[in-house]
Structure 1
Amino acid sequence: MAVEIIMPKLGMSMEEGTVVEWLKKKGDPVKKGESIVVISSDKIEKDIEAPQDGVLLEIIVQQDETAEVGKVIGYIGQEGEVLKEADHESVAISMKEEIEAISETMLRVSPAARKLAHEAGIDLRRVSGSGPKGRITRADVEKAIQTRQASSQLESEEQRFTQINKEAINTSESINLKKKMSGQISEMAIEQKDVTVKPITGMRKVIATRMFASLHQTAQLTIHMKADITKLMEVNENIKNELRDESTIKFTITDFIARAVILSLRTHKQMNSLYQDGRIYTYDSVHLGIAVAVENGLVVPVIRYAEKLSLKEISQKIKELSTRAREGALSSEEMTGSTFTITSLGAYGVEFFTPVLNPPEVGILGVGTAEDVPVLVGDIVEKRKKLPLSLTFDHQVIDGAPASQFLGMVKHYLENPYQLFYS
C-alpha cells in the first residue's frame, strides 16, 4: 500500500515549506530512513527520510514549489504498485497546471522554470530553451526576466526624457539634456546584457524581509568602544598550557565575549528586552543568540538561560550549536526566543561595523577583529591588543547613556578576565 510523504512542520510558526531538492527520481528504490527529499522553512533546511522500503511512486510537489504543512508531496510504495483512485486524483490536481501548459504549448519545460515563469508573468512560448531537445530551463526564464526588465527600464528612461524634453522644448538645455539622456539609455542597454537576475527565495528572502522591517520599525543607533584584551589573551594562553591534556577545554574569544555580555545583561536588564506590540518586555533570564554564517545566509541559534551556565558550559554550548547550525541540524525552536544577539565579523578582518537589530530584540553586539596597537603607558610605548565592539540599540527603548554603560561593563569584564570566571 502506498505511503504518503508529508510536508512536515519544522516549527510552531511554520505554515508551508518549499521542496529544495528531490534526492530520488520517480521509480527509484528507497530504504526506510534514507534521505529522499530536502525541504526548507523560513529558517531551516532539513532532509526528509523514507518512511518505509519501496520505490518512489510519485512526486507531487516539484523542486522549488511550496506546499502547506501536512500536505502530500509524494508517495512511496512497492514496485509495480498502482496508486488508488483517490491518490491519482491528488496527483492529477497537483499536476493539472503543468499538463494543461504542455497540452496548450507543446513545450518541454522544467517544473522550476514553469513555476518561475508563472510567478513572473513570462509567456513560455516566447522563451527559447537551451536544455536538451530545446527544453526550457530556469536559467532561460531568468534571462527572459532580465530582458524584460532591461526593456522596461529603457522604456521608463525614454518616457522620462520625453517628459523633460517637453518642458524644456526649444531651449539649449533641451538639446544638451537629450544628448545626455540618450547616452545614459545607450549605456544602460549595454550594461543590462551582463546582468544575471536571480529571484530572492528561501532563507535569503526571509533575511531580506526581516532586515528591511528591522530598519523601518526601529530607531537604531550604534556606538563603539575598544576593549584592551591583552591580559585576556595571556590568561587564555595560560589556560591552554596548564590544561593541555584537557582536550574539552579550549576557550575562544567568542566564549569570553558571550560570558561578558551575559554578566552585563544581569546588571543592565533594560538591554535584555524585547519591543513589540507597543510594549517593552524585560527579561530576568538571558537567552543569548549567537549569529552563525551558513551557506545560504545567517542563522541565530539561542543559548537559553545562559546566566545559569559557567564559562566552560557556555563554550561547549556555542561550539555545539554552531556545528549543528552549519550542518543544518537545528530545529526551529533552537533559533527563536533570543533576548540579545552577538554577531562577529572579526574573522573577515572587519574592525567596526553597524550590526542590524534582530527584531524584536533591542540590542545586538557586533565584534570586530582584534589588532595589535601601540599604547603609551606612562613614558613607555607598549604593544596592546584591542578588540572593536559595536553596540546597536533601539533608541525607542534605550537612551545613549544606559547603552554606553552596558557596553562599558562588557569592556570592563573583557579587560578584567578573572572576573569572568568568578562573577
Structure 2
Amino acid sequence: MAVEIFMPKLGMSMKEGTVVEWLKKKGDKVKKGESIAVISSDKIETDIEAPQDGVLLDILVEQDETVEVGKVIGYIGQEGEQPDDQSNETPQQAMQEVAVSVGTIEPYTAPRHMLRVSPAARKLAREAGIDLSNISGSGPKGRITRADVEKAIRLKQTSLQLGNEKQTIVETSPITTEQKDVTVKPVTGMRKVIAARMFASLQQTAQLTIHMKADVTELLKLQGQIKEALQDEPDVKLTITDFIARATILALCIHKQMNSLYQDGHIHTYDSVHLGIAVALENGLVVPVIPYAEKLSLKEISKKIKELSIRAREGKLSSEEMRGSTFTVTSLGAYGVEFFTPVLNPPEVGILGVGTVTDMPVFVGDAIQKRKILPLSLTFDHQVIDGAPASQFLATIKNYLENPYKILL
C-alpha cells in the first residue's frame, strides 16, 4: 500500500511549511532513509527522508508551495501502484515518524545508497558537477556537508592540474548577452523569510542607530589571564563575544526599557533577559535565544552561545529555540567591519551591533598609548525609546567592557 508523505511538524509552534525543493522526481526509485525533499519553516531548512523503499508515485505539493502541517505532499509505493487515499497511520502518527526521521542526531555511517545531504551541499555539488555518491559525509549520520563538497572540488581541481587535462566548453545553442551576464533565481526558503521580515522591520518601526567606542584593552588582558589560569579546563574558552553578551545582559537589567517588545500599540517590558545571538549561515541568518540569561554566569553564557552556534550551523535548531528574544546581539567583527547599522528584529526595540577590534592611538593622561578599541552600534525603535535613554544604555555596556572586573561580579 502507498505511504503518504506529510508536511512534518518541526516545532510546537509550527503551523505550515514550504517545499523548498524536491530532490526526487515522480517515478524515481527511493531507498528508506534517503532524502527526497527539502522543506523550510521559520528559517529552518531540513530534509524529508523516505519512510520506506519504493517509488515516488506522486508529488502533490510543488516547489515553493506552502501548506499546513499534516497535509499530504506526496506518495511512496511500489512501481505501478496507485496512491491510496487510505493509510494505515493517522496523520499525527505519520508526522511524528517524519519529524523523528529528520531530527535524529546519533552517530552513524550511512551506506552508499542512503545519501544524506544538506541543501547547501547539494546545490554546490550540482553547480560544480560533483557526484555526491563518491563523497563520504562527515556530518551526523553520514550527512554530506558543504565542507565535504568543497573538499571534493579541491581534489578534482588538483587532479585536473596534475593530469594537465583541458576542458573544452561547446555551445550547442545560441546564447544571448542577457543570458550570459545574468543569473535569475527565485527567492525561496530561508532567504524569502529573511527578506519578508527585514522589509516588515523597516516598514513598521522608526529605527535610529547610534555609535560608541569602547576601550577593551584591559578586557583582552583579562581574557588572556583567564585563558592561562584555566589551561586545565579545555572546555572553557571565553571569547570577546561572551564578555559582550554578559555586559549587554547586565545593562539590560539596569535599563529595562531597552529590554522590551513593541506589539499592537503596547510596550511589553521584561524583567528577565531573553538574549538573541545572531549566527550567520551559508544561506542566511538565524537568531537562537538564551532564555533567562540574567541567571547565567559568564562561563554558562559562553557554553550556551557555543552550543547554540554549533546547532545553528548544523541545522538542528528547533523553531522554539529561535523565539521569545527580548534583545539581540549581532557581530560583523570577524569580517573586519567597524561600525554598521543593524536592523531591528521586531517586535524587539533594540539590537546591538559589534564591530572588529582595532589598534588606535589614544591619549591616556598626557601620553599616547596604543589601545584596543571596539566599535559598538545600537539600533533602537524611536517609537519606544528616545535618544538619551538609548545612549545611557550603550554607555553602560561601554562601562562594563572598559571595567571588565565588574562583569565577573
Using structure 1 for the length normalisation, give the TM-score: 0.71
Give 1:397 deviation, angstroms: 0.7
Partner of 1:153: none
Letter of the 2:189 counterpart: G
Q: Alpha-carbon deviations, 1:268-313, whole Å to 9, x = none?
A: 1000000010000000111100111112211111111111111111
Query: Which residue, 390, 398, 404 being the options, matches 1:411?
Result: 398
| Compared CA separation, residues 85 and 210, structure 1 to 2 (3 A) | closer
User: Is the aligned partner of 1:82 residue 2:107?
Assistant: no
Aligned to 1:282: 269
Between stretches 403-412 and 17-26, larger displacement belongs to 17-26
- Residues 35 and 48 in structure 2, CA contact (< 8 A), matched pair in contact too: yes
Q: Quote the offset at 1:409 in angstroms.
A: 0.7
Q: Is the 8 A contact 1:343 1:364 kept in 2?
A: yes
Q: C-alpha separation between the residues in 1 aligned to 2:23 and 2:71?
A: 19
Secondary structure of the corresponding residue to residue 199 of structure 1: coil
Corresponding residue for residue 44 of structure 1: 44
Choose from 236, 239, 243 the match for 1:249: 236
Alpha carbons of 1:75 and 1:192: their partners in 2 closer, same or farther (altered >3 Å)? closer
In structure 2, give the amino acid aligned to 1:28: K
Report the Cα distance in structure 1 between the residues aligned to 2:267 and 2:34, rounded to whole angstroms.
46
1:64 to 1:217, Cα distance in 2 relative to 1, 3 A: closer
Match in the other structure for 2:248: 261
- How far 1:383 sits from its partner (Å)? 0.9
Following superposition, the deviation at residue 56 of structure 1 comes to 3.4
What is aligned with 2:386? 399
Query: Which position in structure 2 is the counterpart of 1:308?
Result: 295
In the alignment, is residue 363 of structure 1 matched against residue 364 of structure 2? no
Q: Residue deviations 1:216-245, cap 9 Å, x none?
A: 211111111111100110111111112112
Quickly say closer, same or farther: Cα 1:332–1:413, change in 2 above 3 A.
Answer: same
SS at match of 1:286: coil
Q: Which residue of 2 aligns with 1:388?
A: 375
In the alignment, residue 57 of structure 2 is paired with which amino acid? E
Corresponding residue of 1:239: 226
Identify the residue that residue 7 of structure 1 maps to in structure 2.
7
In the TM superposition, what are the counterparts of 1:9-408 in structure 2 within 5 Å? 9-11=9-11, 14-24=14-24, 26-31=27-32, 33-51=33-51, 53-60=52-59, 61-77=61-77, 79-80=78-79, 82-86=81-85, 194-408=181-395
Contact between 1:24 and 1:56, CA under 8 Å: does it hold in 2? no
Structure 2, unpaired ranges of 5+ = 88-175
Identity %: 76
* Matches of 1:322 and 1:201, distance apart in 2: 23
Count of aligned pairs between the two proteins: 319
Per-residue deviation at 1:64?
Answer: 3.9
Structure 2 Cα separation of the partners of residues 416 and 59 of structure 1: 64
Match of 2:181, SS? coil
Once the 2 structures are TM-superposed, how far is the Cα of residue 206 of structure 1 from its aligned partner? 1.8
**Which amino acid letter does the alignment assign opposite residue 37 of structure 1?**
A
The runs of at least 4 consecutive aligned structure 1 residues that moved more than 4 Å come to: 189-193
Whether the aligned pair in 1 keeps the contact of 2:211 and 2:377 (CA below 8 Å) is: yes
Q: Report the secondary structure of 1:244's partner residue.
A: coil
Q: Distance in 1 between matches of 2:53 and 2:305?
A: 40
Matches of 1:23 and 1:200, distance apart in 2: 18
Q: Equivalents in 2 of 1:65, 1:87: separation in Å?
A: 24
Q: Secondary structure at the match of 2:85?
A: helix
Q: Which has the larger radius of gyration?
A: 1
Unpaired runs of at least 5, structure 1: 89-188
For 2:383 and 2:271, locate their aligned partners in 1 and report how far apart those are by CA, in whole Å. Answer: 20
Amino acid at match of 2:29: D
Aligned to 1:171: none
User: Structure 2 length as normaliser, TM-score?
Assistant: 0.73
Say which SS state the counterpart of residue 320 (structure 1) adopts. Answer: helix
State the distance in 2 between where 1:268 and 1:9 align. 38
Residue deviations 1:183-242, cap 9 Å, x none?
Answer: xxxxxx988983433332222222122112211211111111111100110111111112
Query: SS at 1:246's partner residue?
Result: coil
Q: CA deviation at 1:419?
A: 1.4
Shift of the 257–85 alpha-carbon distance from structure 1 to 2, 3 Å rule, reads closer
Q: Report the RMSD for the aligned CA atoms in angstroms.
A: 2.3
Conservation of the 8 A alpha-carbon contact between 2:215 and 2:373: yes
Query: Partners in 1 of 2:367 and 2:178 — Cα distance?
Result: 57
Name which of structure 1's ranges 209-218 and 356-365 shifts more when overlaid on structure 2.
209-218
The one-character-per-residue Cα deviations of 1:59-92 (angstroms, maximum 9, x if unpaired) are: 4134444433211122233x4472355379xxxx
Judge conservation of contact 2:287–2:322 (CA < 8 Å) in 1.
Answer: yes
The residue type paired with residue 389 of structure 1 is L
The one-letter code matched in structure 2 to 1:301 is P
